[in-house]
Structure 1
Amino acid sequence: MHQTHSLVIGAASGMGRCIAERLSKAGRLTIADKNQATLKELAAEYMADAVYCDISDLESIKSLAAACIDIDNIVITAGVSPVMASVQQIIDVDFIGTAHCIDVFRELVRPGGAMVCISSIAGRKFTTNDPTVIQALEAPFSDQLITKLKDAGMDMTDRNVAYGIAKFGVIHLCRKAAKSWAEKQARINSISPGIIDTPMGNPELQQQTEVLRSLIDATPLQRMGSPDDIADCIEFLLSAKSAFITGTDILVDGGICSVA
């Protein structure tokens, strides 16, 4: 029986770091990130292989894949928020980068393996059945993607709009990819976190304090989520306990989407 090999893309901080620590105790681990200094430290701490990866660069993803040819589980937590990046960067990292990973690692995943992608409640709130938007998102590698989204009536000058579209796109990609992953005897799902206490989320909290505080107050569980809350769900989706779950998105939001 082979040793389980897991990969965490975006492992240097927050949710990625938390799940990387968990998975380091369950078998072989490869961690990937743009932050090479932190990556090196974590590799020593977790006894993991470390590979630089810029998820917005297809060649970088291919180089990572070349180092992970015997892979069981892939977790993609790499991403940028509206206060961190431009519209183009949000689309490139949060949506197109994830789409490339889904395609590249589908060809490598072992039977019984699984991928988990991180979406957001922003994607759930954006959810649309508009055929022109869906059509645009189903061609993630098109040079005309942003233009097509503009033509569909989306305000692609607004970073919050772009973020919602990108995260909805992740949910849609995972749903659509379930069939092709099943052909590899593997599964793919996404998670939509609510307001999580992470280094990436903190700048959002500082810059949109009033809005985010009101969301926390409205959350039925009356608190922010923690990276451990997300890691718990990811562990479940990678495990045999979720063997009949694929192509779906799970809310980990303290109940905010039930009331907001």
Structure 2
Amino acid sequence: MMPVPDPHPDVFDIEWPLRVADVDRTGRLKFDAATRHIQDVGSDQLREMGFEETHPLWIVRRTMIDMIEPIEFKDMIRLRRWCSGTSNRWCDMRVRIDGRRGGRIESEAFWININRETQGPARISDDFIAGLQKTTSVDRLRWKAYLKAGARDDAVAVRAYPVRVSDIDIFDHMNNSVYWSVIEDYLYDKPELVAKPLRVTIEHDLPVALGDQLEIIQHEYPAGSTDKFGTDLVDRTVTTLTYVVGDEVKAVASLFSL
């Protein structure tokens, strides 16, 4: 991921403490909580730049999070956010989270600007793009999916994931951070994965609504069988989690050690 252009006046920089709801039973900052922080710092930066009223609605298409070192309970975290790529209707935004006492999380998310009336992608204003481009030279960002859905017939496991009323956001869809709660469920009995640097990516295809019968299809690809994920991953295990409602793919996640 793009390194922090630091010092830089257009990198949004803010601190706040970790709370009890942010951490798991061991005191580690959870992926779903980190995602909420990533969303919140985005709202704060939007307000700081003066575009909260003109560009209020965004949806995320992909979020990639590298947990380099766990951040622990009662720490004060520093969040830095900046743009790493732009186009007319979407952008890549980097967020780095550091704990004062140690710990680091790197992230990059592909955000799409949404029109309030049509609920479709909308052009970002020229003055907003000019502000975003102060930290990047990438001005023709294109979408390209990294992940492919897994099938039921060769899955390691398929399990239901009930959608709750509290999971639904202002778009009337399951909020982005809830997808990361699925990741935490998967990691619950795998302390060896969070004991070393870990990359988790989630790509969203279609929204999940209240009342949907969401299921998670799990696949495990051992080292030596993972060349389809890239030649640099052939020596490690890759896990994929496919979020489906019936036969309709809603999202796909991947996990592997860095």
Which TM bucket (shorter chain)?
Answer: under 0.3
Which structure has greater strand proportion? 2
TM-score, normalised by the number of residues in structure 1: 0.27
CA radius of gyration, larger in: 2
TM-score, normalised by the number of residues in structure 2: 0.27
Which structure has greater helix proportion? 1
